[in-house]
């Protein structure tokens, strides 16, 4: 069949900037998106869903899963490739299909604004993607990987950071039976700090299981699981006797007044996670929380995470840098910001058995940065 490239792209609906959506899942949602208005020549954006298999069934107070379908982005321009990743989260009404759709809907931005004007691209993404913030994150991460590679610098160097300032990362232990929790804690032997998921009616049993096998510092995440301020206070007072560093999102994100009440009665830091997505959310939280947990999937990428870091510092709030279940792409992206923060919880890639990429490594809890530009990741797209 004789078909030139332009005819092929036109027939396939890919548009003249050559956006290849090769994954069968993606094809289902390809639709008839508007063509790019202007081409910069050779920008390619490819989107793929990959299933990440969890080493252990992952259970938190909300839900349980054996795998995660994350959406990966490959951005190519001028012979440089940037990688990005979205980890859709049901808590925020996200899924791989809608995420893929959002990425496709805004691809024209990349043909209209030069990639070096990445702050302008961020503004457009903010206007055009109002749900599926993880879709925005995938594009932002791929863009910043491309920028770093183009400048031939790791992003942390571009931002003037010393990687030795990055705090050790905790390793997360999901909710499970006593025997499995003990086993997981033993498997986590190389990690000096653990983060334990609670927010159930078995919290004492869970912490008891952890404490029966280790005296390491532990951090506790209730994932909005305690439903009243009295319950939260009682749990935290008991947890404090077990030597915990801080408590993350004790009650539902909407219970701001109750959390302020709680914070006045406990003397360990109370950290917002589900209650904070982006910089605009932070000022009102300063009355109820000591710090915030920044995640690229909530913020919509690195550039908004940077704004959040500066906003939190200006408000004298502590900063934790967290993640979803993510491959080395998104984890290596978050790690670029780690020297800015007080606590790191960047273990998403350590919980999966089939990470398609390699990037940041963790040795005894310390982040080891590859001497490579951008995110420093390599792997199979
Ligand atoms: Mg959390």
Choose one of 88, 120, 155: the last residue of a domain: 155
Residues 83-91 have a mean pLDDT of 97
Q: Is 164 or 23 the better-scoring residue by pLDDT?
A: 164
Average pLDDT (169-175) is 94
Q: Is 162 in the same domain as 137?
A: no
Kindly indicate the confidence band of residue 26, based on its pLDDT and cuts at 50, 70 and 90: very low
DSSP 309-354: HHHHHHTT-EEEE---S--HHHHHHHHTTGGG-SEE---GGGGBS-
Indicate whether 14 pLDDT > 90: no
The strand pair at 343-344 and 291-294 is best described as unpaired
C-alpha distances out from residue 113 to 103, 104, 307, Å: 16, 16, 21
> What CATH number did the domain enclosing 164 receive?
3.20.20.120
Q: Are residues 142 and 255 in the same domain?
A: no
State mean pLDDT over 62-76.
94
pLDDT above 80: residue 45: yes
Top pLDDT among 24 and 79 is at 79
Indicate the pLDDT class of residue 63, thresholds 50, 70 and 90. Answer: confident
For the residues 31-58, what does the mean pLDDT come to? 72
Distance from the CA of 272 to the center of ligand 1, in angstroms? 8
CATH of the domain at 121: 3.30.390.10
| Residue-range definition of the domain harbouring residue 99 | 24-155
Residues 139 and 178 in one domain: no
Can you give the pLDDT at residue 34? 36
Residues 180 and 314 in one domain: yes
Residue 18 — very low, low, confident or very high, per pLDDT cuts 50/70/90? very low
**What is the CA(147)–ligand 1 centre distance, in A?**
30
Q: Is residue 260, in this structure, part of any structural domain at all? A: yes
Supply the pLDDT for residue 69. 97
Distance 266 CA to ligand 1 centre (A): 19
Q: How far is the CA of 161 from the centre of ligand 1 (A)?
A: 25
The answer to whether position 93 is within a domain reads yes
* pLDDT (0 to 100) of residue 62: 83
What are the pLDDT digits (tens) for 173-228? 999 999 999 999 999 999 999 999 999 999 999 999 999 999 999 999 999 999 99
- What is the structure's pLDDT at 288? 98
Residue 307 and residue 345 share a domain: yes
287 and 138 in a common domain: no
**Quick check: 229 pLDDT over 50?**
yes
- Residue 317 in domain: yes
Q: Residues 178, 281: one domain?
A: yes
As a whole number, mean pLDDT of residues 336-362 equals 96
Ligand 1 centroid from CA 249, angstroms: 7
Q: Which of 155, 184, 210 is the last residue of a domain?
A: 155
Cβ atoms within 10 Å, residue 230: 12
| Number of domains into which the chain is organized | 2
- Beta pairing class for 80-86 and 171-173: unpaired
Give the tens place of pLDDT for each residue, 286-306.
999 999 999 999 999 999 999
The two structure tokens encoding residue 370: 């590859």
């Amino acid at each position: 069949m004789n078909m030139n490239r332009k005819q092929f792209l036109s027939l396939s609906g890919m548009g003249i900037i050559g956006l290849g959506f090769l994954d069968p899942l993606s094809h289902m949602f390809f639709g008839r998106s508007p063509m790019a208005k202007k081409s910069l020549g050779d920008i390619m954006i490819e989107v793929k869903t990959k299933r990440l298999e969890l080493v252990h069934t992952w259970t938190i107070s909300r839900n349980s899963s054996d795998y995660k379908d994350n959406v990966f982005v490959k951005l190519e321009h001028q012979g440089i490739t940037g990688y990005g990743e979205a980890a859709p989260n049901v808590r925020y009404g996200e899924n791989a299909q809608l995420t893929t759709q959002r990425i496709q809907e805004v691809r024209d931005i990349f043909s209209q604004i030069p990639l070096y004007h990445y702050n302008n691209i961020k503004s457009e993404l903010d206007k055009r993607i109002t749900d599926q913030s993880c879709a925005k994150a995938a594009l932002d991460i791929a863009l910043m990987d491309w920028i770093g590679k183009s400048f031939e610098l790791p992003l942390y160097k571009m931002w003037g950071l010393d990687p030795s300032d990055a705090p050790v990362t905790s390793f997360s232990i999901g909710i499970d039976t006593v025997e499995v929790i003990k086993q997981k804690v033993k498997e986590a032997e190389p990690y000096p700090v653990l983060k334990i998921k609670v927010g159930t009616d078995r919290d004492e049993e869970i912490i008891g299981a952890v404490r029966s096998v280790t005296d390491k510092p532990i951090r506790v995440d209730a994932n909005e699981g305690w439903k009243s301020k009295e319950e939260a206070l009682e749990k935290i007072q008991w947890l404090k006797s077990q030597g915990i560093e801080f408590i993350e999102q004790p009650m539902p994100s909407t219970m701001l007044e109750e959390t302020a009440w709680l914070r006045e009665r406990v003397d360990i830091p109370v950290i917002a996670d589900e209650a904070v997505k982006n910089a605009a959310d932070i000022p009102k939280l300063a009355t109820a929380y000591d710090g915030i947990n920044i995640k690229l999937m909530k913020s919509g990428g690195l550039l908004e995470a940077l704004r959040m870091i500066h906003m939190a510092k200006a408000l004298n709030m502590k900063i934790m840098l967290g993640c979803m279940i993510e491959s080395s792409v998104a984890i290596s992206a978050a790690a670029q910001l780690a020297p800015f923060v007080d606590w790191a919880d960047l273990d998403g890639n350590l919980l999966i058995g089939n990470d398609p990429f390699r990037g940041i490594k963790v040795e005894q809890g310390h982040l080891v940065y590859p001497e490579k530009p951008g995110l420093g990741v390599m792997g199979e797209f």
